[in-house]
Chains A and B, each alone.
Chain A
Amino acid sequence: MAEPSLNDKENVRRLIVDFYKFAAIELSNWNGTVNDGVVSVFTTMYRETVKCSKAFALVPEPPMGPASYFWLSTQLGGASFKRIQGKLSQTCARQAISLYGTDLQLAAMGLSSLRSAKWA
């Protein structure tokens, strides 16, 4: 199993920042760490936002199974998220952050027990 590339990690980090910006919520308290737990929690945040927004057919949907750096990086990274964010509800994104934001912080601190992310 390959390690995630630095590029994928950086894309995921920027994606998380963009997601919080989209929701108009200050991303405080996060040290920028991207690890398996962070990828797992963020994938849940995104999936719940898509579900809540009823945007299944309109935006990329994470595959079932372990969360993936590669999927987030290639499907939502770079300019991709900016292109699809108009199809997502800001309120749903804010709710996802309110509900899972603490989990993201805990994951960044290495305290998450959520399932590991897939590395390739």
Chain B
Amino acid sequence: MGLIRGAWLLAAALGTGAVDAATLQLGEWPEMHECQSCIPLQFRRLELQLPRTEVGKIFSTGTGGLAIELVPPTGDLKQSTAIFDRTQTHLRDLFGKSGFLRTHNIKTPRDYWDTLGKEPATDDKLLRLVRKAERIDSASSYMRMSRGTLTAYVVQAAEPRDQRIYFVIDGDETYYMLVGPMTPALVNAILANARVVEMP
């Protein structure tokens, strides 16, 4: 029942833009549940349980590849969801000269995603541009939910292929990004059993 309630709450929030599109909303994390038929996937310190109804195959492009792909049961790679990891060093490199991180006192990936959820002040052109580049300004919803040391930011983007979940782990420089045409059911399934584990 917990999952159903959690899933309903999230599905409602990810619905038809009822939530304020431009700013970060706090969401309720779907409750963890047992999923015997799920495929467990560990990506560095992030562990996910992937339901076979939503994921038919996990595809890796191998050494030198950029990501792994969660391929839907139809096998259509164009409809797959990619998982990447990045470190906060990338953010520092990207924004070093613009002063964006300094201006907004952004020190961690969590600070970054929180800041993008703020309504820009009238004279804050920089934040407005970064929100535009990250497609947050045009998103139907932008939600944050936390469980233990794990925080998820869920972007329901205007472009169907551009649905995103960012996972941030407290005290970890690495953050994780899932991008693809994720359905609310897949988003719920990913979130429900996501957890932090140690690298084996």
Contact = CB atoms under 8 A, between A and B. Distances in A.
Given A95-B82, A99-B84, A52 B130 contact: no
Given A24-B78, A111-B126, A95 B93 contact: no
Given A25-B161, A99-B84, A106 B67 contact: no
Contacts of A105: 132-133
- Report the interface size class on chain B: 20 to 34
A95 B67 contact: yes
Closest 3 CB pairs of A and B: A105-B133, A113-B96, A95-B66
Interface residues of A, number: 27
Given A28-B159, A92-B66, A95-B66, A102 B93 contact: no
Contact of B69 (A28, A48, A54, A91): A91
Interface of A: 24-26, 28-29, 48, 51-52, 54, 89-92, 94-96, 98-99, 102-103, 105-106, 109, 111-114
Given A52-B66, A54-B62, A106-B133, 4 more contacts: A28-B159, A90-B78, A92-B61, A113-B97
B161 A91 contact: no
Given A91-B59, A95-B61, A98-B179, A114 B94 contact: yes
Looking at chain A's contact residues, the main secondary structure is helix
Interface string B57-74: 001011011110100000
Contacts of A24: 78
Contacts of A95: 61, 65-67, 69, 82, 84
B135 A29 contact: yes
A106 B130 contact: yes
A48 B138 CA distance: 28
Contacts of B161: 25-26
Contacts of A113: 93-98
